[in-house]
Amino acid sequence: MMKKKKLVCGFGVNDADYSIAPRVNGKQQLCPFYTTWTNMLKRCYYPIEQTKKPTYIDCSVVSEWHSLMAFKRWMETQDWRGNELDKDVLCLGNKIYGPDTCCFVSHAVNSLLTDREAARGNYPQGVYLDKQRQKFHAQIKINGSAKHLGRFTSPKDAHNAYCKAKSEYIAQHALAQSDPRIRSGLLKHAKIFLDKPEKEEIT
């Protein structure tokens, strides 16, 4: 009787019909399809991973993608080389990994929508307090470097400046995309940042 394979992260089925860790020039190399697939499953179903990144709590993977080979067939149709699997660009507020909600984007695009709520403290996104001057600074990261947007007397005004700059920055990335799905998704996110100051109550 054939021994049943252990599920990956309690859900995934490694049904690969090839070696996922072949030796190339004497060195073992993990299959990129398998690596991307297992990392996705870990984000959704591995408690230790969710402790590090609580934004993945309540995320899930469609049943079709519980199969490595099904995920591999989809990934082979995507522009995945040098890019990262993303579930947020195409569908706002998305919590489900699947072929209709995911795409591959550059690291720069993937970083655009990172909130970092746990790291920023008591103030809204893009805002920090200069205790010495008792002013609120607004800043945004452009190509990995912080860009100062000004000092303000209230966190709301600082956040407004950040949201405007963030919207413009996301829109710039959107217009540079060749994939119309990604372009459209990013433009929706840009509009959200533009509309944020009207909807948020910040004290």
Record the tokens describing residue 176, joined without a space.
Answer: 């540079």
Max intra-chain CA distance, the chain: 74
pLDDT number for residue 4:
59
Asked if residue 191 and residue 114 are part of one domain, the reply reads yes
- Domain boundary among the residues 90, 105, 120 is at 105
pLDDT number for residue 126:
92
Asked if residue 114 and residue 36 are part of one domain, the reply reads no
Asked if residue 61 and residue 74 are part of one domain, the reply reads yes
Domain that holds residue 111: 106-203
List C-alpha distances in Å: 105 to 51, 73, 173. Answer: 25, 18, 11
Ordered per-residue pLDDT tens for the chain, 203 residues: 445 578 999 999 999 999 999 888 888 889 999 999 999 999 999 999 888 888 899 999 999 999 999 999 999 999 999 999 999 999 989 999 999 999 999 999 999 988 765 555 678 989 999 888 889 999 999 988 999 999 999 999 999 999 999 999 999 999 999 999 999 999 999 999 998 765 555 54
Asked if residue 160 and residue 98 are part of one domain, the reply reads no
Asked if residue 110 and residue 85 are part of one domain, the reply reads no
pLDDT number for residue 2:
46
pLDDT number for residue 65:
98
Identify any residues that bridge with 84 across adjacent strands, giving them in sequence order: 105
3-state secondary structure the chain: CCCCCCCECCCEECCCCCCCCCEECCEECCCHHHHHHHHHHHHHHCHHHHHHCHHHCCCEECHHHHEHHHHHHHHCCCCCCCCEEECCCCCCCCCEECCCCCEEECHHHHHHCCCCHHHHCCCCCCEEEECCCCEEEEEEEECCEEEEEEEECCHHHHHHHHHHHHHHHHHHHHHCCCCHHHHHHHHHHHHHHHHHHHHCCCC
Asked if residue 111 and residue 44 are part of one domain, the reply reads no
Asked if residue 12 and residue 94 are part of one domain, the reply reads yes
Asked if residue 101 and residue 20 are part of one domain, the reply reads yes
pLDDT number for residue 1:
46
Distance in Å from the first CA to the final CA of the chain: 66
The tens digit of pLDDT for each residue in 180-193 reads: 999 999 999 999 99
CA atoms within 13 A on the CB side of 168: 9
Total domains in the fold of the chain: 2
pTM, to two decimals: 0.85
| In-domain check, residue 2 | no
pLDDT number for residue 24:
82
pLDDT number for residue 121:
64
For residue 20, report the phi and psi dihedrals to the nearest 5 degrees. Answer: -85, -5
List C-alpha distances in Å: 170 to 16, 128, 141, 159, 166. Answer: 38, 21, 11, 16, 6
Asked if residue 161 and residue 122 are part of one domain, the reply reads yes
The tens digit of pLDDT for each residue in 4-31 reads: 578 999 999 999 999 999 888 888 889 9
